[in-house]
Structure 1
Amino acid sequence: MEIRVPDTSSVDDIVDMWIGLADGQRDHGSHLKAEANREQIRESILRHVVGDSVLVADTGRIVGFVMFTTESAQYVQDRSRGVIENLYVRPGRRGQGIGSALLGTAEGRLRDAGVDVIALEVMAPNDDARRFYRRHGYEPHRIEMEKPIADDMDS
């Protein structure tokens, strides 16, 4: 397996995997509509490919990807942050170290870019993803909370 920067010919394959990621997140409460965002995510992935901020795991076929960036905060902070935006491994290839290899390589790129900390988001009910990231040293830092308004109209 090779972790590499993809070229623009890989964009559609990465988009298809992102659609799979977004579909899977809906099982954990995500409101993101996967297919409805195909064009927007294609543009985003293309920008990441051109900017060398996406990596793929290639075994003769792309089996996973990670997108990452350095955060450009509008406020002065005491730490510079890198962000893992998306990490996905095709379901049939999970548990083989591919996600760990993608994450580790992205972390190395962010470290080389000078970040002090790396942040990511995970759906709260996604126990497998939370365990994966904890095994790699990630701890909760900020918790986002949500309340459906329709259920609270009588209070």
Structure 2
Amino acid sequence: MSSFTVRTAKSEDRLFLVTLMAALQDAERELSPNRTPGSEMGDAHLAYLEETVEQQNGQIYVAESQEGIVGFVVCFVEKLDEGDLHIVEQEREYGYISDLYVVPTMRKYGAGAELMRAAERHFFDLHLKIVRVGLLCSNESAAKFYQKSGYQPYEVLYEKHLNEV
């Protein structure tokens, strides 16, 4: 078992985070062909997430071993619109985990679970009651991981591609 620590990402981590973001995207691309290749979007998407984290009281955490950064998680606060009265008021603001990735060789050693705990602690410190995470329906390994971490399905989004109507 490899040891690692989880910490807030630093500016000097950015180049490696871009590489990991591209790897995450390519992994999702294997599950869903509508994903842009990681090499084409990694830097720009990370920049977008950095801005979102800044604006929405979020964090980017990294898991680091003696070999270097082995994973990351991006989390921020989401708020429903004032008119979203179908959800009770205390759950209209919630923590959202938008991206989580651990390099394949470090999976099953607890890095993902520790990254999730860091995000959850961040939201707990903000006095939020709910944390949500999204995943592709075909990503069964991610679904198992999240369920093992105490998450359960909340909403399912279906999609249909319209070729001819």
TM-score by length of 1: 0.89
CA 1:30–1:111: 2 relative to 1, 3 Å = farther
CA 1:52–1:148: 2 relative to 1, 3 Å = closer
CA 1:13–1:37: 2 relative to 1, 3 Å = same
Matching of residues 1-155 of structure 1 within 5 Å = 1-29=4-32, 31-33=34-36, 34-47=38-51, 48=53, 53-60=59-66, 61-75=68-82, 77=87, 78=89, 79=91, 80-150=93-163, 153=164
Tell me if structure 2 keeps the 8 A contact 1:11–1:45.
no
CA distance, structure 2, for counterparts of residue 107 and residue 99 of structure 1: 12
CA distance, structure 2, for counterparts of residue 142 and residue 120 of structure 1: 11
Tell me if structure 2 keeps the 8 A contact 1:15–1:45.
no
Shift of 1:49: 7.7
Give the number of aligned pairs. 152
Shift of 1:30: 5.3
Helix, strand or coil for the counterpart of 1:15?
Answer: helix
Deviation track 1:87-145 (CA, whole Å, cap 9, x = no partner) reads: 10001111111100110111111111121100111110111100000011111111111
Amino acid at match of 1:146: E
Helix, strand or coil for the counterpart of 2:24?
Answer: helix
CA distance, structure 2, for counterparts of residue 68 and residue 30 of structure 1: 25
Shift of 1:46: 3.9
Q: Which runs of 5+ in 2 are unaligned?
A: none
TM-score by length of 2: 0.84
CA 1:118–1:52: 2 relative to 1, 3 Å = closer
Amino acid at match of 2:101: Y
CA 1:41–1:134: 2 relative to 1, 3 Å = same
Deviation track 1:60-98 (CA, whole Å, cap 9, x = no partner) reads: 300000000011332355212100010100011111111
Deviation track 1:25-64 (CA, whole Å, cap 9, x = no partner) reads: 1121152212222332231344348966000001130000
CA distance, structure 1, for counterparts of residue 151 and residue 132 of structure 2: 8
Q: Which runs of 5+ in 1 are unaligned?
A: none
